[in-house]
Amino acid sequence: MFGKVLVLIVAVAFVVGIAARVSHGAAPERATVVKPGDTLWSIAARSYAGDTREAVWRLQQRNQLRSATLRPGQRLVLP
């Protein structure tokens, strides 16, 4: 009896361990292409609600930008 309970517990733990690793909760990655006249501020303001300064910082971090200079046609990933 004890052996059957132990096997059942191990099987359940294995199934939970497998299911816990599969994640479908992440949203698909969004991106934008920089248009002439776009700035980090304008992209952040139209893409995010809340504090635009934080959105600019997140854009810089996500895209590994060392400056605020953007080029038309540049692709930015939106965090």
Span 2-78: which CATH code?
3.10.350.10
Mean pLDDT for the stretch of residues 8-27: 65
State residue 62's pLDDT score: 94
Tokens found for residue 52: 């635009």
Query: Is the per-residue pLDDT at 6 higher than 60?
Result: yes
Domain limits, the chain: 2-78
Contact 77, 47 (CB under 8 A): no
pLDDT of residue 60: 96
Q: Are 28 and 78 in contact (CB under 8 A)?
A: no
Q: What is the pLDDT of residues 28-74, one digit of tens each?
A: 889 999 999 999 999 999 999 999 999 999 999 999 999 989 999 99
Instruction: Specify the DSSP element, H or E, that contains 23.
Output: none
The model's pTM is: 0.64
